[in-house]
A and B are shown apart, each in its own frame.
Chain A
């Protein structure tokens, strides 16, 4: 009779042993908030589940001189409440704090969010704006570092090999000159799947008034989140002003038009993205700019 085997490694060495024997019917279980639902929906009754939850070394957020290392099993709740992430990369903190419900955030992990590769995964856009790296280990014990884009394939698929598991997400500690924010548009205030989400990371010049570098990533507008060159170009070299906000909105609309024109969701998303733009703009630069200057 077909059966489902569960393996429970408690260290990276044991994980490698498990991965060695992995095949196409092997599934990695972290928080399970996506996997269990997918297994039920896909009617998977047999195969092997590697339950990562016993590997305690993957449950920590470590600070190094230049990087924060987020263990694969760190939950969205842990990220939402972590002071270091709030200090060095608020966009990720904001994204994690808006994933699902409290219960989902208590179980769901950052690595799971990446590996699940949903088009509207909340943590992917902020990670894409930074030079975050995904560290993986495989059945041979080899450790690799990749960009998010090289891991997320999209529409629920990833590029990981069957014998490969994410073990860490490494994000750079961004200095004071960097500002980041995340925005999300769902169908209600909380416990909602993004209709659009996005993150913006900017590096300000020494005056603190002009954008030197900009990184913009948008989700739920295609099979996976992507960097928007159109929007980034519109921000680089600009001063913080009301005009900049309008440019941001217009470029986002342009990007939405390019991405999903013709789809039934297009007319709404091209309008509503202005709301998300305003949320992000205010989080980045404060509400003063929009209030003080007149039209």
Chain B
């Protein structure tokens, strides 16, 4: 069979629901109205730490249109952890639907159900809560201390772990230089356009159906069943169209509450948050304090590295250990460093809850280590590109702590080709400008994974049936977060079957009809693992098609040619039959269906890699930074859909620049959140975005479908340290606290001025 030229894979086919989206006809959960549906709104706390002494709901209850109010007094007391996606995961359980103890500004106190959303909001405003306030911890280092208030009874330290390869002490002994940095990263909001929303509807049989723009239907079902003490089969979760997630909708937050309310009241319930509630009351990127120490010789070879990471998991644990371990793993997979140690600790604070957020630890760990690498280069008077090239990993290197092989790791290609395309040498060596506006360049690398293989069970079942009219129906629990999952999966199946993607139906997840998927849209696993399964199941279906075609056409399997929806025997090339005819004849004459169900276990977990190059222009009078040029080079193995890959990278760079410069959930000493809306929480908007250029390294990955690897998460990683490094290089300062606000830049410049004057 000829299969040299790809027909559908690699093409920029538009996302499957583009027309419905741009014409406004797609119904998001916020648009859905069900008969008899009531509306719910949450009351979130306006203090950061305390015990509830009294909740007075009388005024709210008296408001016409209010149907019910729920607090800790009349709701299940079940402890759960919304991060659990697979039965059997052992982990701290510390969340409740509603708590009698407040642990952060935004903790859930009550839910009001009313005839309409406005009445629900009015009623929420009428609830009076009396607290007994407790001391507030907002600083994770403060949380480590012995004699401070305990946010949860077992204590504030939730996790600690040490990982090591080689011999750290030996490495440091041999060093010519040791470079140390302490870098802090902030809490980031996902800023999806669609705030959190969910509908739950009970039926007369005691089932509950949940419509949610979520990332993991089976996780939503698992957690909801646990909290409501219901059988899994009584809960149906349907993945609804999604207005963005970026990890923010990765954990079930509203779903168990909404299902509980629907069950209690007996009508469909829509539970919706506004922007303020979504910022303060859902999940955030964990803030991290990283202390990194790197030993190098005079030639720039890295001999050893030691890092101490403190993760602020906020008021509830959720993924406080997983995110820490995710950071640990990335730490060992970017540079060839013989002697390395990672020490990770996670703590509670009275601040917004950490959770999945695009990159899942990668932005934090790489920000910390890549700023350190650049600081080393500057101190050694070396080009940071050269320093990196000396130390980066090579294809098929082993993971030094025993994790999966790095696979076709092409980070060196990323750096070399990127430096050339960006004209790095020229820009790096350019004399520094003196005036008010100063330009400078910076770069950084990063790595990320491809699923859970090596850490957690990673498998998915898909079922593919060829239809009587020559189409195909793929049943699976996929979730399109707006990145083009459905279309990418269709492209893979289309390529294998050699039919147009439009002939394939590939609905998103619905726990009632989708075969099981172990982990949902998480961990950058969709293209690599789910795509791998789609390819495999399509191959098996095609094989079945060929088997029956051979019987029908009276020839051997080897004589069968399958091309563009038609099947024939090499012996009778003038007689071609459609796939549909084979399917029909198979049904009628062989009582069988061209249908395959397959459970695919991810066979490996290679790294994806990137090198990002940024040029910034800094107003030295105001401290404002603009990124004026940007090149993102990504080792993606193979782009299934070029347009989607570029789109992911553009969006990821925007998120990364925001993380570098302006995005921050600011929390005052009392734990109150100041940047609780987009007037104070500034993402990078169009006037401040550079024209992002994308360069793809497509060298193929053995186990990826058509060689593909992940891109969605790594896209949001290297831009942050690249921008910070550009600022540091341009101004000869050391920004060590993110985001690099104008205030911090001016402060650093003033300090530099003072130092220079002293000398």
Interface residues of A (CB under 8 A from B): 1, 43, 45, 185, 187-193, 267-268, 271-272, 274-276, 278
* Chain B hits for A271, CB < 8 A: 621, 623, 746, 750
Expressed in whole angstroms, the minimum distance between the Cβ of B111 and any Cβ of chain A is 18
Greatest chain B CB density within 10 A among A45, A272, A274 is at: A272
Contact of B624 among A45, A188, A193, A274 (CB under 8 A): A188
Q: Which residue of B lies closest to A185 (CB)?
A: B622
Given contacts A268-B743, A271-B746, contact A190 B621 (CB under 8 A): no
Asked if A188 and B746 sit within 8 Å, CB to CB, the answer is no
* Chain B hits for A193, CB < 8 A: 679
* Chain A hits for B679, CB < 8 A: 193
Asked if B626 and A268 sit within 8 Å, CB to CB, the answer is no
Q: Which residue of B lies closest to A291 (CB)?
A: B435
Asked if B685 and A188 sit within 8 Å, CB to CB, the answer is yes
* Chain B hits for A1, CB < 8 A: 64
B: number of interface residues (CB 8 Å): 24
Contact of A267 among B619, B662, B747 (CB under 8 A): B747
Is B741 located at the chain interface by the 8 A CB criterion? yes
Q: Which B407-441 residues have C-beta < 8 A from chain A?
A: 436
With A272-B746, A276-B622 already in contact, 17 other A-B pairs whose C-beta atoms are closer than 8 Å: A187-B741, A188-B682, A189-B624, A189-B626, A190-B685, A191-B685, A191-B687, A193-B679, A267-B750, A268-B623, A268-B746, A268-B747, A271-B746, A274-B621, A275-B619, A275-B624, A278-B621
- How far is A187 from B675 in the complex, measured between Cα atoms in Å? 13
Is B684 located at the chain interface by the 8 A CB criterion? yes
Greatest chain B CB density within 10 A among A188, A190, A274, A275 is at: A188
* Chain A hits for B386, CB < 8 A: none
A-B contact pairs, 6 of them (CB 8 A): A45-B118, A45-B122, A188-B624, A272-B622, A272-B742, A274-B621
Binary contact readout B716-759 vs A (1 if CB under 8 angstroms, 0 otherwise): 00000000000000000000000001110011001000000000
- How far is A24 from B125 in the complex, measured between Cα atoms in Å? 21
Asked if A275 and B622 sit within 8 Å, CB to CB, the answer is yes
- How far is A271 from B621 in the complex, measured between Cα atoms in Å? 7
Closest 5 CB pairs of A and B: A275-B621, A275-B622, A190-B687, A268-B743, A272-B622
Expressed in whole angstroms, the minimum distance between the Cβ of A43 and any Cβ of chain B is 5
- How far is A43 from B750 in the complex, measured between Cα atoms in Å? 44
* Chain A hits for B746, CB < 8 A: 267-268, 271-272
* Chain A hits for B682, CB < 8 A: 187-188, 192
* Chain A hits for B743, CB < 8 A: 267-268
Asked if B622 and A43 sit within 8 Å, CB to CB, the answer is no
- How far is A267 from B750 in the complex, measured between Cα atoms in Å? 10
- How far is A151 from B632 in the complex, measured between Cα atoms in Å? 52
- How far is A272 from B745 in the complex, measured between Cα atoms in Å? 11
Expressed in whole angstroms, the minimum distance between the Cβ of A272 and any Cβ of chain B is 4
Asked if B688 and A190 sit within 8 Å, CB to CB, the answer is yes
Greatest chain A CB density within 10 A among B64, B622, B626 is at: B622
Asked if A187 and B662 sit within 8 Å, CB to CB, the answer is yes
Expressed in whole angstroms, the minimum distance between the Cβ of A62 and any Cβ of chain B is 33
Expressed in whole angstroms, the minimum distance between the Cβ of B254 and any Cβ of chain A is 21
Expressed in whole angstroms, the minimum distance between the Cβ of A154 and any Cβ of chain B is 19
Asked if A188 and B741 sit within 8 Å, CB to CB, the answer is no
* Chain A hits for B662, CB < 8 A: 187-188
- How far is A98 from B231 in the complex, measured between Cα atoms in Å? 57
* Chain B hits for A192, CB < 8 A: 682
- How far is A187 from B619 in the complex, measured between Cα atoms in Å? 12
Asked if A189 and B688 sit within 8 Å, CB to CB, the answer is yes
Q: Which residue of A lies closest to B64 (CB)?
A: A1
Expressed in whole angstroms, the minimum distance between the Cβ of B2 and any Cβ of chain A is 53
- How far is A276 from B750 in the complex, measured between Cα atoms in Å? 18
Q: Which residue of A lies closest to B684 (CB)?
A: A188
- How far is A189 from B687 in the complex, measured between Cα atoms in Å? 7
Q: Which B169-207 residues have C-beta < 8 A from chain A?
A: none
Q: Which B608-628 residues have C-beta < 8 A from chain A?
A: 619, 621-624, 626
Given contacts A189-B626, A193-B679, contact A272 B621 (CB under 8 A): yes
- How far is A160 from B647 in the complex, measured between Cα atoms in Å? 51
Expressed in whole angstroms, the minimum distance between the Cβ of B91 and any Cβ of chain A is 38
- How far is A63 from B423 in the complex, measured between Cα atoms in Å? 55
Asked if B742 and A268 sit within 8 Å, CB to CB, the answer is yes
* Chain B hits for A268, CB < 8 A: 623, 742-743, 746-747
- How far is A193 from B679 in the complex, measured between Cα atoms in Å? 8
- How far is A192 from B122 in the complex, measured between Cα atoms in Å? 30
* Chain B hits for A189, CB < 8 A: 624, 626, 687-688
- How far is A187 from B688 in the complex, measured between Cα atoms in Å? 11
Expressed in whole angstroms, the minimum distance between the Cβ of B98 and any Cβ of chain A is 22
- How far is A191 from B750 in the complex, measured between Cα atoms in Å? 28
- How far is A150 from B270 in the complex, measured between Cα atoms in Å? 48
Expressed in whole angstroms, the minimum distance between the Cβ of B105 and any Cβ of chain A is 17
Asked if B688 and A188 sit within 8 Å, CB to CB, the answer is yes
* Chain B hits for A190, CB < 8 A: 685, 687-688
Q: Which B69-127 residues have C-beta < 8 A from chain A?
A: 118, 122, 125
Contact of B623 among A45, A191, A272 (CB under 8 A): A272
Expressed in whole angstroms, the minimum distance between the Cβ of B749 and any Cβ of chain A is 8
* Chain B hits for A274, CB < 8 A: 621
Q: Which residue of A lies closest to B119 (CB)?
A: A45
Q: Which residue of A lies closest to B686 (CB)?
A: A190
- How far is A43 from B125 in the complex, measured between Cα atoms in Å? 8
Expressed in whole angstroms, the minimum distance between the Cβ of A274 and any Cβ of chain B is 5
- How far is A43 from B124 in the complex, measured between Cα atoms in Å? 11
- How far is A185 from B623 in the complex, measured between Cα atoms in Å? 10
- How far is A27 from B588 in the complex, measured between Cα atoms in Å? 75
- How far is A161 from B741 in the complex, measured between Cα atoms in Å? 41
- How far is A271 from B679 in the complex, measured between Cα atoms in Å? 24
- How far is A278 from B682 in the complex, measured between Cα atoms in Å? 25
Expressed in whole angstroms, the minimum distance between the Cβ of A98 and any Cβ of chain B is 11
* Chain A hits for B623, CB < 8 A: 268, 271-272
Greatest chain A CB density within 10 A among B125, B687, B750 is at: B687
- How far is A271 from B754 in the complex, measured between Cα atoms in Å? 14
Binary contact readout B217-236 vs A (1 if CB under 8 angstroms, 0 otherwise): 00000000000000000000
- How far is A190 from B685 in the complex, measured between Cα atoms in Å? 8
- How far is A141 from B496 in the complex, measured between Cα atoms in Å? 79
Expressed in whole angstroms, the minimum distance between the Cβ of B683 and any Cβ of chain A is 9
Asked if B742 and A187 sit within 8 Å, CB to CB, the answer is yes
Q: Which residue of A lies closest to B274 (CB)?
A: A40
Expressed in whole angstroms, the minimum distance between the Cβ of B228 and any Cβ of chain A is 32
Expressed in whole angstroms, the minimum distance between the Cβ of B627 and any Cβ of chain A is 11
* Chain B hits for A187, CB < 8 A: 624, 662, 682, 741-742
- How far is A190 from B624 in the complex, measured between Cα atoms in Å? 12
